[in-house]
């Protein structure tokens, strides 16, 4: 089943985010290589693809996991969480309707 992982960044987390990014991206690449990643990306802090010092307010990931517990465990092991980038992580089942 698909699950949405919605993460919110802590205040002033840009430096922490950049330091932990290689390990974070490596895990996303592993999901993609396994054919389980639907989409992933950050929420810019301003209306721009490249927000600069405004940084990011969180991230969204949609991927396939066996169970909600598996998705939660994957989210809990994210390097951004370990680096205190994320202040909150929500994991929910997701039903893709479009595009078909």
Q: Domains, the chain, ranges and CATH?
A: 2-94 (3.30.70.1060)
CA gap 75, 81 in Å, rounded: 8
pLDDT of residue 90: 98
Residue 62 in this model has a pLDDT that exceeds 90: yes
pLDDT of residue 29: 98
What is the share, in percent, of the chain residues with pLDDT greater than 70?
100
pLDDT of residue 100: 86
Residue 5 in this model has a pLDDT that exceeds 90: yes
CA gap 30, 84 in Å, rounded: 22
Q: Using pLDDT thresholds of 50, 70 and 90, give the confidence band for residue 84.
A: very high
């Amino acid at each position: 089943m698909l699950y949405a992982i919605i993460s919110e960044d802590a205040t002033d987390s840009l430096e922490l985010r950049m330091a932990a990014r290689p390990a974070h991206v490596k895990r996303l690449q592993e999901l993609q290589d396994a054919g389980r990643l639907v989409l992933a990306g950050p929420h810019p802090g301003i209306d721009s693809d490249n927000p600069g010092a405004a940084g990011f307010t969180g991230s969204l990931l949609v991927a396939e996991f066996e169970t909600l517990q598996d998705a939660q465990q994957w989210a809990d092991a994210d390097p951004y969480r370990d680096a205190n980038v994320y202040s909150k992580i929500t994991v929910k089942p997701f039903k893709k309707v479009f595009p078909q």
